[in-house]
């Protein structure tokens, strides 16, 4: 692979409904796409940063700066045998895994296309359907939440994740469990709680949740360890895991029993695969989370979830869950509670180039 042209674009998309978590919510999403050109061949990636630092210190603005001023200049014109070499070239930048992942993942798409392989095959997975769940943001009232849960179960989703925050947690979850006693449900706190909330979190054991995701601060492994020792419900770490070393620390400290792997959060596919392999060897289940990606980013999540350690349904919903019209064709469609990688080479979907170019509100192009 030779990177002779790299393009960055930001395209605004409206979510079908406002998506709210414990730190806030939004309805407009800025989709940040990166393309790498090697002659006539193109690899696509998506930077999954949020517009504000409520989930991560990385934002649309920081990622644009890091990519434009440091990462793209480091790799443009370079020749690489595989995406791993691309990742090594960017290692000198401390942190900013989401920015690095945008290039690394585009390199995986380009590499897969040049090898004539699907992305799933290129990373060591296989073209098989993967079980998917859905993530439901905080709702205005319990009746609305119950209706949404029921509708998604009727659509075939195999697991329901509900966002929680103080004051909207135990009672709400109890209503859902009473209404759907056999449903696989979990709660996602997005770091909204502390060890002072231990008595409340212990009460959730009675609800038979699959897990409680990221209850404490993203950098607090010690208190997550104390919590996991004090409750029966498995603790799942999300924001805490930004690298292989983070995952290794979490497992060694027994800070969790499940890990949510998002390739765009951990620096790309190579890092995600390494975390998967670590957890598989340790007998720790993993699942693939989502970051409100377009169909471009979703392609990487689906491919990753074909690896054998992904035994739990992931947040890899169909395109219509979030968008009236996705940025790719064909769109991602749920069938019997699963999504399958498309059969085409690379990410297997075709980005709507005309729309991306026409609707982009920011563009940066560099040639070797």
For residue 68, with 0-12 CB atoms within 10 Å meaning exposed, 13-18 middle and 19 or more buried, which class applies?
Answer: middle
Considering only CA atoms, which of 119, 137, 116, 107 is closest in space to residue 18? Answer: 137
Distances in whole angstroms, Cα of residue 115 to Cα of each of 54, 110, 119: 39, 9, 10
Residue 199 CB contacts under 8 Å (≥ 6 apart), including other chains: none
Cis peptide upstream of residue 158 (ω within 30 degrees of 0): no
- DSSP three-state, residue 207: helix
| Helix residue ranges, H only, the chain | 60-66, 72-75, 83-89, 97-115, 119-122, 142-155, 170-179, 198-203, 221-230, 244-253, 269-282, 295-304, 353-359
Question: What is the phi/psi pair of residue 323, to 5°?
Answer: -125, 140
Distances in whole angstroms, Cα of residue 250 to Cα of each of 66, 68, 283: 28, 33, 14
Question: What is the phi/psi pair of residue 345, to 5°?
Answer: -70, 160
Mode of pairing for the β-strands spanning 350-351 and 130-131 = unpaired
- Cβ atoms 240, 214 nearer than 8 A: yes
DSSP secondary structure of 68-106: IIIIHHHHTT-B-SSHHHHHHHTTTS-S-HHHHHHHHHH
Considering only CA atoms, which of 240, 254, 244, 326 is closest in space to residue 283? Answer: 254
165 classed as catalytic = no
Tell the residue number behind the tokens 């009675």, with chain if given: 206
Query: From the candidates 148, 158, 165, 262, which is the catalytic residue?
Result: 262
2 classed as catalytic = no
- Cβ atoms 113, 41 nearer than 8 A: yes
Query: From the candidates 158, 161, 163, 165, which is the catalytic residue?
Result: 163
- Cβ atoms 167, 142 nearer than 8 A: no
Active site residues: 163, 262
């Amino acid at each position: 692979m030779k990177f002779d042209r790299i393009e960055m674009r930001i395209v605004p998309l409206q979510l079908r409904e406002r998506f709210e978590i414990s730190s806030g919510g939004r309805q407009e999403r800025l989709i940040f796409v990166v393309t790498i050109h090697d002659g006539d061949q193109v690899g696509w990636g998506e930077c999954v940063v949020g517009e504000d630092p409520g989930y991560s210190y990385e934002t649309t603005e920081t990622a644009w700066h890091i990519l434009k001023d440091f990462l793209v200049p480091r790799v443009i014109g370079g020749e690489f045998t595989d995406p791993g070499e691309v990742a090594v070239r960017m290692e000198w930048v401390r942190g900013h895994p989401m920015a690095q992942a945008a290039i690394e993942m585009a390199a995986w798409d380009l590499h897969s296309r040049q090898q004539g392989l699907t992305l799933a095959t290129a990373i060591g997975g296989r073209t098989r359907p993967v079980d998917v769940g859905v993530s439901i943001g905080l709702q205005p009232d319990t009746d609305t939440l119950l209706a949404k849960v029921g509708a998604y179960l009727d659509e075939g989703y195999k697991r329901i994740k509900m966002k929680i925050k103080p004051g909207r947690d135990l009672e709400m979850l109890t209503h859902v469990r009473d209404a759907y006693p056999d449903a696989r449900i979990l709660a996602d706190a997005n770091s909204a709680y502390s060890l002072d909330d231990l008595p409340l979190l212990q009460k959730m054991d009675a609800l038979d949740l699959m897990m409680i995701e990221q209850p404490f601060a993203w950098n607090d492994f010690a208190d997550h360890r104390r919590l996991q020792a004090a409750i029966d419900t498995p603790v799942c770490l999300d924001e805490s895991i930004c690298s292989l070393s983070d995952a290794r620390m979490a497992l060694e400290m027994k800070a969790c029993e499940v890990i949510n792997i998002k390739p765009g959060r951990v620096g790309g596919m190579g890092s995600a695969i390494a975390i998967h392999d670590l957890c598989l060897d340790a007998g720790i289940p993993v699942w693939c989370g989502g970051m409100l990606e377009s169909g471009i980013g979703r392609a990487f999540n689906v491919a990753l979830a074909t690896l054998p350690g992904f035994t739990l349904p992931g947040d890899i919903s169909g395109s219509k869950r979030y968008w009236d019209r996705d940025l790719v064709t064909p769109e991602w469609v749920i069938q019997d509670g699963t999504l399958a990688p498309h059969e085409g080479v690379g990410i297997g979907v075709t980005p709507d180039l005309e729309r991306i170019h026409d609707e982009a509100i920011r563009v940066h192009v560099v040639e070797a």
